[in-house]
Structure 1
Amino acid sequence: MKRKNWAAGIATTVLLTSVLSGCGGSNAGGSDKGSGESGGKVTLNVWGMGEEAKSLPKIAEQFEKDNPNIKINVQALPWASAHDKLLTAVASKKGPDVLQMGTTWIPEFAAAGALMDLKPMADKYPEIKEDNFYPGSIQTTKYEDKTVGVPWYIDTRVLYYRTDLLKEAGYNEAPKTWEELQDAAQKLTKRGSGKYGISLDPKEQSLTFMFARQNGSKLLDGKQPLFDQPQFVEAVDYLNSFFKNGSAPKDLGIDAVQGLSGDGIVPMFISGPWMVKLINDKAPDLKGKWATAVLPKKENNISALGGSNLSVFQHTEHKEEAMKFLAYMSKPETQLKWLEMTQSMPAAKKAWEDPVLKEDPNYKVIGEQMKASEPMPMIKPWEEIAQAYLKSFERIYRGQAEVKPELDAFNKQAQQILNK
C-alpha cells in the first residue's frame, strides 16, 4: 500500500484524540435520507482507494438491484491523498458510510475511534463471520478487543521463477529451502556477466520481517523489539549475502517482467498475485517457461499478508444499510466477480474452491501460500519502525555496515518509537 507523510499522519492522529473528545456528532456526509425515514432512498457513500476503486460502481449494480431503497455513491481516492482525507473525516465526523482500509491503516484509525465495531453484527450478517476468511486476513481486522473491518481482498508474496533456466541450473522444481534458494541463485549468476539469480527489492519493507519470521523471530514481544536477537540478525545476514555475493542486483533499473523475459537477466523474484496477469500480458512469449511456488522455508515459510478491508465509519447514520453492503461484498460470488474485474484475490475462503482459482496452477500456489501468511504487527507505530529499518538495511547492503552493530542501533531506535 502507498503512504504519504506517515510521520505527519501519526502526529495528527495523536491530536485527533483531543479533537474527537470535543467534537459534536454529525451525519456521515451526503446521504439523502436517514435510515429511519420510511419511503426514503438512502445513499451510501463509499470511499475506495486506487485504480481498483473505479470498478466499485459496477460491482455495486447487483446490490442496488437487490436493495432498491439503497443507492451506492462511490468516491475513488488516490492512495497518495487518501490518508489525509481520512484524517479530515475523522476530525470532523463527516465522511463516508463505508470505506476501504489498507490493512496497515487499521490500528491508526481504529485508535482514533473512526471505525465501527462489527463484532456484534456477525450473527445478523453471517457473511462477515470470521470463519469465512483466512486467519491471517482476520488478524488485520482486529484492534484491541474490537473487529473493525471485514477482509475484502488479499495478497501475499510467492516465488516467481523461470522453469527452463532453473532446470538448466539443476533444479527441476522451485527451491524449497533457504539453502536451495541461495544455491540456485548463485548457480544462475554464474551464467555470465550481467546475469543474476534473484531480485530482492531492498525497498520492500515487509521482505526482511517476512524472512525473520521464517527464521523463528517474533519481531516484537509486547512493547519490546527483538531486532537485535539472533533470529532477526541471521535473517538480515542471509538476505544481505545475496547482495554481497552478487546474486541479487542492487540497482538494476528494469522491472521484474523485463528481468524474467528473454534470456532471464533475473530469473527469480518474490512478489504478489498481480504479477500473474502482468507476466501473461507483457511477456506472452514466456508461456510455459515460468511458474510460481510457495516461499522456501527455514523453520517455516511464512509470507507477508496484505490487501484491503472494508470498514463502517463510526459516525454513519446508515449502519444497517452499510452492513448490508459489507455482507454483499463478503459473499464468495461477489468476490469472484471482483477477481474477474480487477485481478484482486478474494478474501473469502470458499471463493478459492471455484475452478477459476482451484485449477489455475499459479492461483493455486497463491491459495496454498495464504495458509502460511501473516500481516505485519497490527500496531500504530509499525510503519515508522519499518521505515526506520529500511534506512538501516540500506547502510548494510549498500554501505557495508556491520550487521549486528547496525541492528543493535536499529533496535534501540525501535524501542524509542514504541515508547512514544
Structure 2
Amino acid sequence: MKKVIAFVGLTAALSAAGQASAVTLTFACDSVGAGYNECQKGADAWAKKTGNTVKLVQVPKETDQRLALYQQQLGAKSADVDVYMIDVVWPGLISQHLLDLNKYIPAAEVKQHFPAIVQNNTIGGKLVGMPFFTDAGVLYYRTDLLKKYGYNAAPKTWNELSTMAQKIQAGERKTNSKFVGFVFQGKNYEGLTCDALEWISSFGGGTIVDASGKVTINNPKAVEALRTLSAMVGPVAPSAVTTYGEEEARNVWQAGNAAFMRNWPYAYALAQDAKSPIRNKIGVAALPAGPGGKPAATLGGWQLAVNAYSKNPKEAASLVQYMTGLQEQKRRAIEASYNPTIASLYKDAGVLKAVPFFGSLYNVFTNAVARPATVTGSKYNQVSDAFSTAVYSVLTKKSAPGPALKTLEGQLGRIKGRGW
C-alpha cells in the first residue's frame, strides 16, 4: 500500500499544475522482439496518468551498438534522451552520467526488487538504475518433436542435445529442407559472450576472469566446451548461426524450423502467439551441462536509468518508477514473458498461469552466472569483445579452441595490465 500511495502522490504532484506544465520525455527503451511495443504500452499508461508525453526512440538491437550510441550521447552531455534502458553490465561503465535514483524513489519500493540487482546498479552509493526485468539463458525445445522421435525429456547434457538434435533434424528434413537441430546466438557480439560463458561454465571452466581479477579462461575444460559446441556448427546448427543474434535465432525457431533454441525468456510469449506455427508445442528447460558439470545460465537483464543531463529529472524518475513498479512488471510478465525483478511476482497466480516455467526455473533465474563486469570495471567492454572474438574464430573454424584461448589469455593479460 505504501508503494501505491508513494507513486500516486508523485503522480498527483506532477500533474497538479495541469496540462500547461506538461513535459515531453524521450525514452530510449527496447528494440528486441516485442520490446518496443511493450515499452510504448507502459509509457502511454504513465503519460495518461500524469498528463505528460513520452516519445520513444528506436535503438539498435545489438547491445554493443546500443552502448556505443549511449556513450557518445552521454559523453557529449546531451539532454536529447531523458530515460535509457541499460544492460546489467553497463552501470560501472556509464554511472557518472546517470542520476541517483535514491533521491526520487522510496527506499521501501527499491527493496522489493532482487537485492543482488539493486547492488549491481549501485555505484559509489548512487542507485544509477532501477531493475526493469531480469534474464537468464534457457533452452527451448519442441515438445511434439521430442515425443515423435521417442524422447520424454529435454537433454541434460550438450552431448545429449547434439544426439537428439541430429536425429530430429534427419527425420524432419525428409519433408522440410530448412529444418535444423539447434539455433543460438553465434554472431560476434555481446550475445555470443553470454552463450559462450554458459557453455564454458557448464563444463566447469570458470567465468573468463575470476572474482579476484585473475584471468582463468585458458583451461582444459574451457577448451573442451568450445570444442564440443563448435563441432555442432554444420552438423547440428546451421553454418549461418554465426550470423545470428537473438531475433535471427527466434525467427528460425518460431517458423517451426528448429528442434532446440537457446534464447532469453522473452521469446516464449512471442512463440505462443495465436499466429505462431509452434503455439502450444513449446517446452522450456535449464540449459544442458558438460560432463561432470552443471547447467549454467548467463545473467542478463535490463535497468531503467535517468540521464543526469535531463532537463526534466523529476518527471523522468517518475516514468522510471512507474515502468519498474509491480503493476507494470506484472503486466509485462503476463503479456510478454519478461522476467520480473520483484520476487513476489514469481508466486503470483496470474503470472504463473501465463508463463508456467517462471516457477519451475526460478532457481535458474536467481542463481545465474554473472559476466565479469564488476571486477573488470571500465575495461569490461574490451574483455567481452576479446572473448567473443576468440569464440567466434573457433565457431567459424578459423582457429582451434586451444590456440584461441591461449591467445585470448595473452590479450586479457594486456588489458588487465592497463588496469581493471
Q: TM-score, length-normalised on structure 1?
A: 0.74
Letter matched to residue 214 of structure 1: S
Whichever residue aligns with residue 131 of structure 2, its letter is P
CA 1:184/1:139 → structure 2, altered by over 3 Å: closer, same or farther? farther
Alpha carbons of structure 1 residues 107 and 44: separation in structure 2 relative to 1, 3 Å: farther
Which of 384, 405, 408 is the matching residue for 1:407?
405
Q: Partner of 2:99 in structure 1?
A: 116
Match of 1:390 in 2: 388
Q: Are residues 1:128 and 2:110 paired?
A: yes
1:215-294 to 2 correspondences below 5 Å = 215-216=203-204, 217-221=206-210, 222-243=212-233, 246-251=235-240, 256=249, 259-260=252-253, 266-281=258-273, 284-294=276-286
Q: Does 2:320 correspond to 1:330?
A: no
- 1:70-149 matches, within 5 Å, as 71-79=52-60, 83-84=68-69, 86-92=71-77, 94-110=79-95, 113-119=96-102, 124-129=106-111, 131-133=112-114, 135=116, 137-138=117-118, 140-143=120-123, 146-149=126-129
Q: Is the 8 A contact 1:175 1:181 kept in 2?
A: yes
* Alpha carbons of structure 1 residues 181 and 102: separation in structure 2 relative to 1, 3 Å: same
Counterpart code for 2:365: M
Change (3 A) 1:176 1:324: same
SS at match of 1:281: coil
| Corresponding residue for residue 198 of structure 1 | 182
Separation in structure 2 between the aligned mates of residue 317 and residue 259 of structure 1, nearest angstrom:
43
Within the candidate set 357, 365, 374, 2:351 is matched to 357
Residue of structure 2 aligned with 1:213, choices 194, 201, 218: 201
Residues of 2 paired with 1:251 and 1:93: CA distance?
39
State whether residues 333 and 340 of structure 2, in contact with CA within 8 Å, keep that contact through their aligned partners in structure 1. yes
Residues 294 and 365, structure 1, Cα contact 8 Å, conserved in 2: no
Match of 2:147 in 1: 167
| CA contact 1:132–1:350 (8 Å) conserved in 2 | no
Equivalences for 1:290-309 in 2 at 5 Å?
290-298=282-290, 299-309=293-303
Q: What do residues 17-47 of structure 1 show as CA deviations (whole Å, max 9, x unaligned)? A: xxxxxxxxxxxxxxxxxx9xx9994637342
The alignment's TM-score, normalised by the length of structure 2, stands at 0.74
How far 1:319 sits from its partner (Å)?
5.1
For the 8 Å contact 1:125–1:324, the answer to whether it is kept is no
Determine helix, strand or coil for the equivalent of 1:198: strand
Asked whether the equivalents of residues 40 and 56 of structure 2 are also in contact (C-alpha less than 8 Å), the reply is no
Q: How far apart are residue 207 of structure 1 and its match? A: 0.8
Q: How many residues align?
A: 376
Give the CA deviation at 1:119: 5.0
Q: Distance in 2 between matches of 1:132 and 1:58?
A: 22
| Alignment counterpart, residue 376 of structure 1, candidates 371, 384, 390 | 371
* Shift in alpha-carbon separation, 1:399–1:67, aligned structure 2, 3 A: closer
Change (3 A) 1:294 1:139: farther
- Provide, for residues 246-294 of structure 1, a one-character-per-residue CA deviation record: whole Å limited to 9, x for no partner: 22222279954665478x6531111122322332338644344332112
Aligned residue for 1:307, secondary structure, equals: strand
1:334-353, CA deviations, whole angstroms, 9 ceiling, x for partnerless residues? 22234466654432222333
The verdict on how the C-alpha distance between 1:396 and 1:160 changes in structure 2, with shifts beyond 3 A counting, is: same
Q: Match of 1:302, SS?
A: coil
- Contact 2:183–2:258 under 8 Å retained in 1: yes
AA paired with 1:197?
A: G
Letter in 2 for 1:167: K
CA contact (8 A) 2:298 2:371 kept: yes
* Alpha-carbon distance between aligned partners in 1 of 2:280 and 2:322, rounded to the nearest angstrom: 37
For 1:248, give the aligned amino acid.
A
RMSD between superposed Cα atoms in Å: 3.7
Structure 1 residues 168 and 339 mapped into 2: Cα distance closer, same or farther (>3 Å)? closer
Distance in 1 of aligned mates of 2:276 and 2:36? 28
The amino acid across from 1:239 in the alignment is L
Which runs of 5 or more structure 2 residues have no equivalent in the other structure? 1-13
CA contact (8 A) 2:161 2:288 kept: yes
Aligned letter for 1:126? A
User: Which amino acid in 1 is paired with 2:233?
Assistant: F
